[in-house]
């Protein structure tokens, strides 16, 4: 089972087991992880599912599509080099992913 480790701005870590094929956003929302809002439910239209990915994990992710890149210009907390929109990150078998949620999503 893939596991996502969510760290919030206060430093609290939540380790959540996800399902293969689900997005990181879905995994967060289903388990009530705070810090991911996902207003649009994953249709790449709200930029409220922004996460910062730990650098070593970031390098292992599939590259983002143009539209995700564009939407990252609409985040509430400015994007950084390790920013992704979590609705676009699909989990795969055995994956361990470390993400930090921004101070605010709106």
Under the binding rule (CB under 6 A), the answer on residue 53 touching ligand FES is: no
| Count of beta carbons in the 10 Å neighbourhood of residue 33 | 19
Ranked by CB distance to ligand FES, the top (closest) residue is 87
Q: What span, in angstroms and rounded, lies between the C-alpha atoms of 66 and 15?
A: 30
Query: Choosing among ligand FES, another protein, none, which partner's interface includes residue 49 (Cβ < 5 to 8 Å by kind)?
Result: ligand FES
Q: What span, in angstroms and rounded, lies between the C-alpha atoms of 17 and 59?
A: 21
Under the binding rule (CB under 6 A), the answer on residue 28 touching ligand FES is: no
Nearest approach, Cβ of 33 to another protein (angstroms)?
15
Find the part of the chain contacting ligand FES (CB under 6 A) among 9-17, 41-49, 55-63, 93-101: 41-49
Contacts with 30 (C-beta within 8 Å, 6 or more apart), sequence order: 22
Nearer to another protein, 55 or 70 (CB): 70
Alpha helices in the chain (DSSP H): 24-30, 55-60, 66-71
Under the binding rule (CB under 6 A), the answer on residue 42 touching ligand FES is: yes
Nearer to ligand FES, 56 or 73 (CB): 73
Question: Tokens 């080099």 sit at which residue?
Answer: 81
């Amino acid at each position: 089972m893939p596991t996502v480790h969510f760290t919030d701005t206060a430093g609290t870590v939540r380790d959540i087991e996800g399902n293969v094929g689900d997005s990181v956003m879905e995994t967060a929302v289903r388990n009530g992880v705070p810090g991911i809002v996902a207003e649009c439910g994953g249709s790449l239209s709200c930029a409220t599912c922004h996460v910062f990915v730990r650098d070593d994990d970031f390098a292992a992710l599939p590259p983002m599509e143009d539209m995700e890149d564009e939407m990252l210009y609409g985040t509430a907390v400015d994007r950084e080099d390790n920013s992704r929109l979590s609705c676009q990150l699909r989990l795969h078998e055995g994956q361990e992913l470390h993400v930090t949620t921004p101070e605010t999503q709106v």
